[in-house]
Structure 1
Amino acid sequence: MNTANYSHYCDTSELYPFGCPAGRSSYYGRGPIQPSWNYNYKSAGDALEIDLLNNPNLVQNEPSVAWMTAIWYRMTQHGPGTMTPHEAIIGDHGFGETIRSINGFIECDGGNPRQVQSRVNAYLKFTQILGVDPGDKLPC
């Protein structure tokens, strides 16, 4: 974890007038899907009726909050992609589209092929353990 990057996840532009009340370095990724940015903590908190904008550490310190934010993102947010991660999997778009929905160009389309392959390898490991077909379209 590069804590020097944590302050980059505070967007105080006109689009997000609520700012970063928990501090500029408080909105880094935590939990199973790791929501990043103040606006994602605000949106998740609003949807879950939890003040995550002022209390982002709840995602780190409360397992139920961590999983609620992961499920919220998976089911409702498309991030930099064109569909939610859930739609990508059930709509037969492949595991690669879930990566795109979470990290977009940072990893996909040549952004970080080693990280994509690492995610694909982990996905394959879990599908093997569970005895399910991983499908095709694994990288993004």
Structure 2
Amino acid sequence: MRVFRIVLGAAGLVAVGFGLWSMREFDVAQLRSAFVWLAGGVVAHDFVLAPIVVALGVVAARVAPARVRTPLVVAFVLWGSLTLVALPALSGPGVRADNPTLLDRPYVAAWLALSAIAVACVLAYALVRRDRRGGRS
């Protein structure tokens, strides 16, 4: 496990280094924009996504059967992250009449499909887990 953590940490440092190297020619406006975007991600995670996922996890822990609690929480984290990443495309702020090639995909349909896949995975895991335990939770 220690080796895995070291390799993962090294990969993260390489990614950070590459990102910083890529920003070496940014002007002040681009650096400011990047900072606002990164800070917005932290704020969106810490004050929007995390509280919603925690609240849904608490509700799942009280309401859901034991066999689906863990997959439900995983699904909440995945769905919340997916929604947070997809929000700019879903809300369409980049759509412009003079450039129809911007945001020209069915983003809502893709988000719905990925959400359905997450739900299907939770259900499949719950069924497999139930079968392995002989029908018990």
Q: Tell me the TM-score normalized by structure 1.
A: 0.31
Q: Which has the larger radius of gyration?
A: 2
Greater helix proportion: 2
Q: Tell me the TM-score normalized by structure 2.
A: 0.32
